[in-house]
Every structure is written in structure tokens, then in C-alpha cells.
Amino acid sequence: MHRRVSAGDGEARQNGHVSPLPQRRRPSTPAIVVALLILYVVWGSTYLGIALMIETLPPLLAAGVRYLAAGLLLTAGVYLWARLRRAEAPERPTRRQWRSAFVIGTLLLLGGNGFVVLAEQFIPSGVAAVMIATVPIWLAVFDALLTRRRPSRLVIGGLIAGLSGVAILLVPVEGLDRINPLGVGLACTAAISWAVGSLYARRAEMPRNGLLGSGIEMFAGGVVLAVVGTLLGEIGQLDLTSVSLRSALAVAYLIVFGSVIAFSAYVWLLNNVPVSTVGTYAYVNPIVAVALGALVLSEPITPRTAVAAVVIIAAVIAMVSGRPRQAEQPARDVGASPREGDARSVARAAD
């Protein structure tokens, strides 16, 4: 008699006997710690990687190459892994899913990451990271507007605190170094675009396999970045003989570590630990980015930057820790897209 699974009670029948289905093994604590450290350190270091990348490479073209390569690696890895396990390969993305991927890729990777790359031409990488930390605030605000719910006091307070942090960076103060308003504006636009893209992605039709969906989003976003960079004349700015070794290594690091390894760790964590635990990267990454910018690039940590960072990160901590708990449990279906529980807020604007 063939083995079959009862859909109603979660038990397996075999040879007429009823037995409980095997439970998934809980991940070990060291594995969770390593995965979180990857998110904290690797994603926090991507701002430094971007700053090194654009030293000798056109910004949007370099970002396009990064995501084209990362998308191909991630997508190929999904199918290769299924083949090695002799498991059924994920279904090929449909035209509708590709269309969604291009919309999401445009909002997240051109509007989000692309504007971060452009912003870092004018402001320190640490300041850009602090600005991107406002993404959860914009997410909460736009979500309240879309659902026509009155924003909670926590959302309103977070928005006010976040805008106060941005104002601290922009308002001229005698005796303090002025921060380029264009760079701040680009970074703020990136955060807003990332939030809008994340909300769109919640309802977009995408492959059930989360890594496959992310792979085609990265590929689509890479295409858009490369096209826009070409239209802006960046190909004419590219001189391969002047590309430094550290810019080239930065691109490789962003592809392999920032996009493929860190994002794989992110999806694994979403399926194994509460979303609130995964979300802690939102306020650890800026701290890592500011520290690395100071250590490697000698970016000054001015009183203005420090105060703005404290205000913005405190607002994000309050909003993340105070959100409803209905999405606290991890998604146990590893084949499902990590879109549940705000997972598409994902990879952050600089991942």
C-alpha cells in the first residue's frame, strides 16, 4: 500500500497504521547566531562595499552588473540544488511573474539600491546607512495609508522621530560640518522607494520558492539598472584600465556575500526564527556601516551624524519591537515565498 498523507490531521497512514508526520528539526543555536551575524556584518558592510565600488566604476552600471550576476547565481543555484537533491525543480516563472519581478526590481533595486549608490557620491556611507534605516518607518506609514487605517501613535511617533533625524542631518548649524542635501535627498528617496516596492511585492504574483523569486527580481533589477546607466551615458565614463583592484573586489564581494550568501541566510532565518528576531538587522546594520566607514574610509563620526543616528535607530527599534505579534512565528513551509511577515521588506536597499 502506498504511503499517503492525511490533509486534515497531519498524520501519515502506512500499511493501515496511523503515525504522526516527522517534525522538522529545530535549528541549532550556533547556526542561528552565525546566520544573524551574516546579516549584521555582511549587510552592514555593503555600504562600505558600495563606496569602494564607485571609486573607479560608474555607479548604476556597476550596480547593474552586481545584480545581474547575483540574480543568475541565485536562480541557477535553486535549480542546481533541486537537481542534486533529486527533488522536483521549481516551476519556471511565468510572464506575469516576470512582469512583477521587473516592477519590484525597478522599485527596490533602481529606486532603492540605485539611489543609495548615487547618494554615496555625495555623503559618507555611514550617513547613507542611517537614512536607509528609516525604511520600516515609511513601510508603516504607507501601509496605514493603503489600508485606510488610522496610523497608531507608535507609527506617528516613529515618523516624527525619523523626520527629526533627517532634519538634524540637513539643518545648517554654526560650527558643525554641513552634509550635502542632494545626497540626503537621494538616500531618503531610496528609503521611500524601497518601502513602496516592498508593499507592492506583498501582493505581486511571484514564484512560491522565495530564493527563485528573489533571483529573478535581482536579475530584472540588474537589467533596469544597466539600461538606465547606459541611457545616462555611464558606458562612456567606463575606463577598464583605470578600474582599481579594490573596486573590482568590492563588486565581487557585493555579488557573492552581499547578495547571494546574506540573502540566503535571510530566507533561512525567516523560515526558522520569529520575524522580530530577523528584523533586528534594521537597526544593527547602520551601526556596523558607520563603524566600518570610520575605520576603513576615515569617515568622520560628527556630533550631527551621531545624534541623527540615535534618533532614527531609536524610532526604528520602537516601531519594530512594538508591532503586532501575529507574524511572529516563522514560516514553516520552506518552499513558500518569504513574502509572509513582511519578508519582502527583505533585503534592504543596500543588500
pLDDT tens for each residue of 8-19: 444 444 455 544
Over residues 309-318, the mean pLDDT reads 84
- Residue 190 near residue 182 (C-beta atoms within 8 A): no
User: Which tens digits make up the pLDDT trace of 78-131?
Assistant: 999 888 888 888 889 999 999 999 999 999 999 999 999 999 999 999 999 999
pLDDT digits (tens, 9 = 90+) for 234-275: 999 999 999 999 999 999 999 999 999 998 898 888 888 887
Give yes or no for residue 56 having a pLDDT over 90.
Answer: yes
Express each pLDDT in 120-164 by its tens digit.
Answer: 999 999 999 999 988 888 888 888 888 888 777 777 887 788 888
Stated pTM of the model:
0.82
Identify residue 338 by its one-letter amino acid code. Answer: P
Q: What is the mean pLDDT of residues 189-193?
A: 94
User: How much is the pLDDT for 320?
Assistant: 66
Average pLDDT rounded to a whole number, residues 287-298? 93
- Check residue 347 and give its pLDDT: 45
Residue 351 grid cell: 543588500
Question: Alpha-carbon distance 345 to 145, whole Å?
Answer: 17
Rounded-to-integer distance, Cα 227 and Cα 223, Å? 6
The C-alpha cell of 324 is what?
503586532
Which residue carries 562612456 as its cell? 236
Region class of 273: left (phi > 0), else alpha (psi between -120 and 50), else beta: beta
Q: Is the pLDDT of residue 314 over 60?
A: yes
CB 324 within 8 A of CB 17: no
Q: Are 36 and 192 in contact (CB under 8 A)?
A: no
Q: Give the pLDDT score at 21.
A: 45
Query: Please, what is the average pLDDT of the chain?
Result: 82
Which residue's entry shows cell 542561528?
32
